[in-house]
Amino acid sequence: MDKPLLKEQAQKIFTAVEAIERSLHKDLNNTDPDLTLPQLRTLMVVARNEYCTMSELGRLTGYAASALTGIIDRMIKKRLVVRVGDDNDRRIVKVAATRKGIGLAQEHYRKIVKHISAILEKASLSERAKIVNLIEKIAGSFGDRR
């Protein structure tokens, strides 16, 4: 295996992912400048699930519990999420998206899909299939590492 080439390719992928994330954040931030990328990412995770504990949110977002506490507090003030106690265990606190939060998450999801679709449209059908296959393979490999 050619380790220098592998390292160079990994660096190129990292740079490309950063560019994609910056572009998406810029486009989304034009719509809602009051919502940070960590808040948006967290909101989208919460909105896809009925309830999430803080530990589940940490696992699904990659954010530390200390960071998530601040993110959730700010989103509560914006009325995007609420904290909900667990009926069976009072020590457990879950986070749920409000209707406003779900609507905002769905709106941003549609924008992200539209943005990515516009980019993919420039590739041929076979190139798109390869891109999707490789990204799913990469994402699956990251999931295996946890």
pLDDT per residue as tens digits for the range 87-107:
888 888 899 999 999 999 999
State the residue for tokens 């967290």. 42
State the residue for tokens 């809602």. 32
Predicted structure pTM score: 0.77
Quote the radius of gyration of the chain (alpha carbons, Å). 18
State pLDDT tens for residues 34-60. 788 889 889 999 999 988 999 999 999
For 24-144, the fitting CATH number among 3.30.200.20, 3.30.70.790, 3.40.50.880, 1.10.10.10 is: 1.10.10.10
Task: Using alpha carbons, select from 14, 44, 13 the residue that is nearest to residue 28.
Answer: 44
Give the domain ranges of the chain: 24-144
